[in-house]
Structure 1
Amino acid sequence: MTGTALLVLLSLGTVGGAHLLSKARWTWRAPRLGIALWQALGLSWGVATIGALLGAALLPYRKGVAGGVPGMLADQAGRLDTVHLVALLAAVSLTVVLLAMLMYAVFRVVRARRRHRALLALVSRSDSAAPGTLVLDHPGAAAYCVPGVRSSKVVVSAGTLALLDADELAAVLAHERAHARERHDLVLLPFTSLRQVFPQIRLVGRCLDAVELLIEMAADDRARRHRPPRELATALLRFAAARPGPAPSGTLGVATADDIPVMVRVQRLLEPQPVRRSVRAVVMAAVPLLAGLPLLLYAIPH
């Protein structure tokens, strides 16, 4: 019972932690730390919730989760009554749904990218003003990355070439290449699939929004290693004024028409504020603890 109770508390605690983290602003100072903490919270919630359901189902075996599963398999769940069978079914169902939706999200993204790559092969062109990128003859402002396993494509529109000067364009391209190098698309996939599982829960939507903003900030930080931050800041402001549309499905765009995140990104580019060492140390210790704690609780006997 002890391990199961702790797993329940951990599951509820990660939900509370996600609520607090979705409102936190210190993560803007260290977006990579924030992303790692979000990933640890999400993993801990999933493993703890499934473990809590399994622990409740296996209470008659009095050996916890890790010890109860072999016993249940050995006697073909002979000790489980209706209530415990329902808990077992809930644990199995949640596991299957989470994995299935993750695989479905991967399938949708891969299919969307394959279609978009085929379209780009037909309508895009190269341009000396943006070497190493694909250019679309469209008057609107657009710049995005199409991630890939073997190769990623950075795409800009003719409208972007007209909108930005050479330095601003170089900063935008550095931002998009940062998305490709750090595979931010893989960071988003679990949170995207979680929103598909729980579309009506606002907290899940806020979590995804928070992670999306953090990966944009992480790409900003990598871009300013190679370009002056003012170049990317002015490019973001120009994009915001041009009111760009959403990036195509399966891609990562430099900016959207939402002014608030853009202004936050511009401010942190022009006035960076490093996170305190104490906060960094606590988060770096919390990430592996959150990720590994549910598995340790699986081993606690009744």
Structure 2
Amino acid sequence: MTGTALLALISLGSVGGAHLLSRARWTWRMPRIGIALWQAIGLCWGVATIGALLGLALLPYRKGVLGGLPGLYGDQGARLNAMQVTALLGAIGLAAVLLVMLMFAIVRVVRARRRHRALLALVSRSDSSMPGTLVLDHPGAAAYCVPGVRSSKVVVSAGTLELLDRGELAAVLAHERAHARERHDLVLLPFASLRQVFPQFHLVGRCLDAVELLIEMAADDRARHGRPPRELATALLRFAAARPAAAPSGTLGVATHGDIPVMARVNRLLEPQPLSRRLRFAAAVAIPVIAGLPLLLLVLPH
């Protein structure tokens, strides 16, 4: 009973932690740690919630969650009352919905990218001055990457080539290559699928927005290595003023919508504020603890 209660408390605590983290600004100073924290909290919530429901259903066996599962196949299964059967069905249903929606999100993104790659093959052109980059003959501002397992495509529009100078363009291309190299699209998939599962909860949408912003900041950090940060900052401001259209489905663009995210990225590029060692160490320790504690409670008998 103690382990089940702890799993329930951890599940509720992860929701509260997500609420606080969605409003936090210190993560902007170390976006990769912030992304890892979000992943740990997401894993913690899923494991703890499913584990608490399973623990409630398997209370009669007094062997914990994993230890009690074999009892469902024996004669002891008849000992489950209505509440415990409901908890068992809830755990199975939640796990199934999360997995199915994640697979659905993966299939949808793969199909969208396949269609967009086929379209790019028809309407884009290569530029010898930008190896590995495709150019769209479109007057609007656009710059995005199409991630892939074997090859990723970085796409810019003719309007972008006119909008940015050489240094700004190089910074934008480095930003997009960072998205592709670090596979930020895979980071977003679980959060995007979670929003599909719980569209009515505004917290889930805020979580996705926070992760998207941290991903952009992480790519910004990678892009400014070896070049003046002002180049990417001015490129972001030019993109914001040009009001680019949203990046195609399944891709990652250089500019996010809204003035606040853009200004937050520009300010941290021009006036970086490194995270203190103490806070960085605390966050680094918290990540495995948050992710691992519910998994440990699943294994331990209670």
TM-score, with normalisation over the residues of structure 1?
0.98
Matching of residue 164 in structure 1 with residue 164 in structure 2: yes
User: Once the two structures are superposed, what CA deviation does each residue of 1:260-281 show, in whole Å capped at 9, x if it has no partner?
Assistant: 1111100000000000111110
User: Once the two structures are superposed, what CA deviation does each residue of 1:104-142 show, in whole Å capped at 9, x if it has no partner?
Assistant: 000000000000000000000012343320000111000
Matching of residue 63 in structure 1 with residue 101 in structure 2: no
Map of 1:3 onto structure 2: 3
How far is 1:299 from its partner? 2.8
Q: Distance in 2 between matches of 1:211 and 1:295?
A: 23
Determine if contact 1:230/1:270 at 8 Å carries over to the other structure: yes
Determine if contact 1:176/1:253 at 8 Å carries over to the other structure: yes
Map of 1:269 onto structure 2: 269
How far is 1:67 from its partner? 1.4
Q: Distance in 1 between matches of 2:73 and 2:286?
A: 35
Q: Distance in 2 between matches of 1:168 and 1:131?
A: 16
Name the aligned partner's letter for residue 149 of structure 1. V
Q: Which structure 1 residue ranges, 4+ long, deviate > 6 Å from structure 2?
A: none
Q: Distance in 1 between matches of 2:120 and 2:257?
A: 23
Name the aligned partner's letter for residue 154 of structure 1. V
Q: Secondary structure at the match of 1:217?
A: helix
Map of 1:125 onto structure 2: 125
> For 1:98-137, what aligned pairs fall within 5 Å after superposition?
98-137=98-137
Map of 2:233 onto structure 1: 233
> For 1:191-230, what aligned pairs fall within 5 Å after superposition?
191-230=191-230
Map of 2:301 onto structure 1: 301
Q: Distance in 1 between matches of 2:260 and 2:130?
A: 28
Name the aligned partner's letter for residue 266 of structure 2. V
How far is 1:249 from its partner? 0.2
Q: Secondary structure at the match of 1:77?
A: helix
- Larger CA deviation: 63-72 vs 75-84: 75-84
User: Once the two structures are superposed, what CA deviation does each residue of 1:153-212 show, in whole Å capped at 9, x if it has no partner?
Assistant: 000000000100111000000000000000000000000000000001000000000000
- Larger CA deviation: 18-27 vs 250-259: 250-259
Name the aligned partner's letter for residue 159 of structure 1. G
Determine if contact 1:243/1:256 at 8 Å carries over to the other structure: no
Q: Distance in 2 between matches of 1:165 and 1:115?
A: 31
Q: Distance in 2 between matches of 1:214 and 1:43?
A: 18
Map of 1:281 onto structure 2: 281
How far is 1:76 from its partner? 6.4
Q: Distance in 1 between matches of 2:62 and 2:256?
A: 54
Using the aligned pairs only, state the percent identity.
79
Q: Distance in 2 between matches of 1:9 and 1:169?
A: 49
Query: Runs of 5+ in structure 2 lacking a partner?
Result: none
Matching of residue 54 in structure 1 with residue 69 in structure 2: no
Q: Secondary structure at the match of 1:156?
A: strand
Q: Secondary structure at the match of 2:227?
A: coil
Q: Distance in 2 between matches of 1:91 and 1:289?
A: 23
Number of residue pairs aligned between Structure 1 and Structure 2: 302
Map of 1:155 onto structure 2: 155
User: Once the two structures are superposed, what CA deviation does each residue of 1:214-247 show, in whole Å capped at 9, x if it has no partner?
Assistant: 0000000000113211100000000000000100
Name the aligned partner's letter for residue 280 of structure 1. R
> For 1:169-184, what aligned pairs fall within 5 Å after superposition?
169-184=169-184
Map of 2:188 onto structure 1: 188
Map of 1:259 onto structure 2: 259
C-alpha change, 1:93 and 1:245, in structure 2 (3 Å) is: same
Map of 1:72 onto structure 2: 72
- Taking only aligned residues, the RMSD between alpha carbons, in angstroms, comes to 1.0
How far is 1:78 from its partner? 1.8
TM-score, with normalisation over the residues of structure 2?
0.98
Name the aligned partner's letter for residue 150 of structure 1. R
Name the aligned partner's letter for residue 281 of structure 2. A
Q: Distance in 1 between matches of 2:106 and 2:113?
A: 11
Q: Distance in 1 between matches of 2:205 and 2:195?
A: 6
Q: Secondary structure at the match of 1:60?
A: helix
Determine if contact 1:245/1:256 at 8 Å carries over to the other structure: no
Determine if contact 1:65/1:298 at 8 Å carries over to the other structure: yes
Determine if contact 1:129/1:161 at 8 Å carries over to the other structure: no
Determine if contact 1:2/1:301 at 8 Å carries over to the other structure: no
